[in-house]
């Protein structure tokens, strides 16, 4: 009736050859009880025991169930569960010995009516019904996948070495304009988890409702997987018991009335996805977080960021002062004469530049990183895999990058800054890594929307430490789904392949087929420490999608509200038009004004940090809290 993910319980001192365990819920006409599969029986039988499979079990043991085991929500609420005299649930135990269990799978055509086996029942809901369900309610859903986020990892415990792997997915079913928002953790179905892509039909069972029951909650309702959740996509539905469910049939009828072209514009993959939104107040944030220390100092932040594992995602909070903000547009509006796409922007402390690199840009230090990342999704086939750096090489590049930073800082750039930057770079020929970098500043793409406080102007040249994590990479922007490059897009969004596949090579001509699902723009925000001696530069990405605003942003929440210490619900959400600058500047002006309103105020910043691999780390400003007396009392 139900099936959990496969659990590995091995430890260094464990003597078991195959320390695996999996729970099932099995039933006959008299009732339902748990069944646990142990050790070497798991790799032999786990994949064969599907929902709806009929089993003949012999020589099994009966034991009292583990008291803290999760319980499923049966489709048939009247089905009896077997318990012992002391009200503990009983379970069937299947072992390879003591006693050696005999397991047989009965083919469907041999199942006899006189056995009176119960049918597998489900609890499917539609999106229009979701808003009326209570927190922690279990349900099943079916829908058309609209958005698939990248795979990320979070630690199970703060200092532990085990990770949860998850991704965010949007699914629509035609009963509401809003999608199901799904937090999908890996089940023991890697072939399905990694093949989820837009325009596929997704079924998720035993999903748990997550909603904030407090008044004025800003967090939309969403669903998360449970220990018993199962996922199925197009190609896996045939023969599944849920195909007989009425709501599944209704969805199929709705799909038959739809035209693919009407949905393709809204399909997207990957990118930074700030969900679930942080609470409205810092007190609520403190209650929800499960770490030893809520606040991190800026001096500790560099160590925290550099300790991230591959695709590890964290949220951290620290106290500081918003001191400067700059609007940056990195829209891919031009191409180099050689046909090579413009590269990712380079950030050098107080200088904003856009860089086109015809050669491979060497990596600099973490703090003053000079990355030449393509705005397009994939490097050309001529770019080889990045070689492993030696410690000596990294030290050389770090010294050279700092020297270049000092030289650039002394220059006052005008409209012909392109040639000056090129000459400055060529003057550093004593270092081969720097001499190879060919840069061209595109000053006409810099926007006037910026602000810095008087305090920042006074202290920015005398800081003892200035961390720079304001780089934004192509992986940070969601990409529109493209059938022609479906396999490549899935590869970019997954942690790793379930099986070895040759890496797809995308040519420069094919790269033009990739469209971004939101404007290529963001803000660089300088945050000063409360002692005015250290600072950190981070990025603020107003994640939005012109065609479908609710896809990447909480409904009704303007992007500049993140920088506002009050909840301004009266402000109307504005659409960013990539073809017209007036709307873009209007939104940028509001964001800059919101930052300026926080001048000299001590605030608490919530950052989303994620390691993308290859020494690339995202650091995005997610939320700003104005410090109140209640917050101070809570931290003392």
User: Which helix H or strand E contains 351, and what residues bound it?
Assistant: strand 351-353
For the stretch 38-75, pLDDT in tens is: 999 999 999 999 999 999 999 999 988 777 677 777 77
- 454, 596 in Cβ contact below 8 A? no
Q: In terms of C-beta density within 10 A (0-12 exposed, 13-18 middle, 19 or more buried), how is residue 280 classed?
A: middle
d(CA 520, CA 134): 38
The Cα-based distances of 578 to 147, 315, 560 in angstroms read: 21, 31, 18
- Predicted local distance difference test score (pLDDT) of residue 513: 55
d(CA 541, CA 520): 9
- Predicted local distance difference test score (pLDDT) of residue 285: 85
Q: Pick from 393, 336, 342: which is nearest to 365 by CA?
A: 393
Rounded to the nearest integer, the mean pLDDT of the chain is 75
Indicate the range of 1-15, 226-240, 487-501, 535-549 predicted with least confidence.
Answer: 535-549
Q: Pick from 222, 226, 231, 230: which is nearest to 70 by CA?
A: 226
Q: How confident is the model at residue 208 (pLDDT cuts 50, 70, 90)?
A: very high
d(CA 555, CA 557): 6
Q: Which residues contact 217 (CB under 8 A, 6 or more apart)?
A: 211, 280
For the stretch 570-615, pLDDT in tens is: 333 444 444 444 444 456 678 888 888 888 889 999 999 999 988 8
Phi, psi dihedral angles at 430 (to 5 degrees): -65, -20
In the predicted structure, residue 545 carries a pLDDT above the cut 70:
no
In the predicted structure, residue 380 carries a pLDDT above the cut 60:
no
User: Which helix H or strand E contains 144, and what residues bound it?
Assistant: strand 138-148
Tokens of 507: 């040519």
- 312, 154 in Cβ contact below 8 A? yes
Mean pLDDT in residue range 605-628: 90
d(CA 243, CA 533): 63
Q: How confident is the model at residue 634 (pLDDT cuts 50, 70, 90)?
A: low
- Predicted local distance difference test score (pLDDT) of residue 439: 31
Q: In terms of C-beta density within 10 A (0-12 exposed, 13-18 middle, 19 or more buried), how is residue 206 classed?
A: buried
d(CA 490, CA 501): 12
The Cα-based distances of 559 to 504, 506, 556, 591, 594 in angstroms read: 36, 34, 10, 8, 10
- Predicted local distance difference test score (pLDDT) of residue 542: 77
d(CA 607, CA 625): 12
- 82, 33 in Cβ contact below 8 A? yes
Q: How confident is the model at residue 429 (pLDDT cuts 50, 70, 90)?
A: very low
Mean pLDDT in residue range 355-384: 34
In the predicted structure, residue 459 carries a pLDDT above the cut 80:
yes
Q: Where are the alpha helices (DSSP H) in 270-416?
A: 282-288, 298-306, 391-410
- Predicted local distance difference test score (pLDDT) of residue 25: 92
The Cα-based distances of 518 to 428, 515, 543, 547, 594 in angstroms read: 38, 9, 7, 9, 22
Q: What is the DSSP string of 315-335?
A: EEEEEEEEEEEEEEE------
For the stretch 96-126, pLDDT in tens is: 988 899 999 999 999 999 999 999 999 999 9
In the predicted structure, residue 203 carries a pLDDT above the cut 90:
yes
Tokens of 258: 């739809």
Model-level pTM?
Answer: 0.76
Angle between helix 391-410 and helix 417-426 axes, rounded to 10 deg: 140
Phi, psi dihedral angles at 166 (to 5 degrees): -150, 165
> Is the model more confident about 367 or about 199?
199
Tokens of 277: 């939104």
């Amino acid at each position: 009736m139900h099936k959990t993910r496969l659990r590995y319980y091995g430890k260094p001192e464990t003597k078991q050859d195959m320390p695996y365990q999996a729970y099932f819920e099995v039933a006959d006409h008299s009732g339902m009880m748990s069944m646990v599969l142990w050790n070497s029986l798991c790799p032999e039988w786990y994949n064969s025991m599907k929902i709806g499979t009929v089993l003949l079990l012999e020589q099994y043991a009966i034991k009292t169930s583990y008291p803290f085991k999760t319980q499923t929500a049966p489709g048939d609420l009247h089905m009896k569960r077997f318990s012992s005299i002391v009200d503990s649930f009983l379970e069937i135990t299947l072992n390879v010995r003591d006693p050696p269990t005999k397991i047989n799978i009965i083919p469907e055509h041999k199942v006899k009516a006189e056995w009176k086996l119960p049918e597998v029942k489900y609890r499917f809901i539609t999106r229009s019904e979701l808003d009326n369900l209570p927190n922690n309610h279990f349900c099943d859903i079916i829908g058309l996948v609209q958005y698939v986020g990248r795979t990320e990892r979070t630690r199970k415990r703060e200092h532990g070495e085990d990770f949860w792997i998850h991704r965010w997915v949007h699914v629509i079913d035609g009963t509401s304009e809003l999608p199901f928002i799904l937090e999908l953790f890996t089940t023991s179905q890697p072939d399905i988890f990694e093949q989820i892509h837009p325009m596929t039909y997704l079924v998720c069972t035993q999903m748990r409702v997550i909603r904030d029951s407090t008044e004025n909650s800003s967090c939309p309702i969403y669903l998360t997987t449970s220990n018993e959740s199962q996922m199925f996509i197009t190609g896996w539905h045939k023969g599944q018991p849920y195909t007989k469910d009425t709501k599944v049939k209704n969805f199929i009828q709705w799909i038959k009335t739809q035209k693919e072209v009407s949905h393709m514009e809204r399909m997207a993959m990957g990118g930074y996805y700030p969900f679930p939104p942080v609470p409205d107040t810092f007190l609520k944030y403190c209650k929800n977080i499960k770490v030893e220390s809520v606040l991190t100092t800026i001096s500790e932040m560099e160590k925290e960021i550099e300790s991230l594992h591959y695709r590890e995602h964290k949220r951290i909070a620290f106290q500081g002062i918003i001191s400067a903000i700059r609007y940056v547009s990195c829209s891919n509006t031009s191409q180099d004469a050689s046909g090579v796409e413009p590269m990712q922007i380079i950030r050098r402390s107080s200088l904003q530049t856009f860089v086109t690199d015809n050669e491979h840009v060497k990596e600099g230090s973490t703090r003053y990183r000079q990355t030449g990342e393509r705005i397009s999704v994939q490097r050309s086939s001529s770019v080889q895999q990045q070689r492993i750096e030696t410690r000596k090489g990294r030290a050389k590049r770090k010294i050279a990058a700092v020297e270049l930073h000092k030289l650039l800082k002394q220059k006052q750039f005008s409209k012909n800054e392109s040639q000056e930057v090129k000459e400055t770079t060529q003057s550093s020929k004593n270092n081969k890594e720097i001499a190879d970098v060919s840069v061209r500043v595109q000053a006409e793409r810099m926007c006037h929307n910026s602000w810095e406080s008087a305090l920042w102007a006074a202290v920015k040249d005398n800081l003892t430490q200035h961390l720079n994590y304001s780089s934004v990479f192509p992986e940070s922007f969601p990409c529109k789904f493209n059938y022609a490059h479906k396999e490549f897009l899935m590869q970019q969004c997954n942690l790793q392949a379930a099986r070895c596949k040759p890496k797809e090579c995308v040519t420069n001509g094919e790269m033009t087929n990739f469209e971004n699902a939101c404007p290529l723009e963001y803000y660089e925000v300088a945050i000063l420490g409360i002692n005015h001696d250290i600072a950190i530069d981070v990025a603020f990405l107003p994640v939005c999608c012109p065609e479908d605003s609710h896809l990447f942003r909480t409904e009704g929440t303007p992007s500049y509200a993140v920088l506002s210490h009050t909840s301004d619900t009266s402000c109307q959400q504005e659409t960013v038009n990539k073809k017209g600058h007036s709307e873009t500047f209007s939104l940028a002006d509001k964001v800059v004004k919101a930052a300026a309103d926080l001048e000299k105020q001590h605030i608490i910043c919530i950052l989303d940090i994620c390691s993308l691999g290859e020494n690339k780390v995202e650091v995005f400003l997610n939320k700003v809290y104005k410090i109140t007396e209640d917050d101070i009392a809570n931290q003392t």
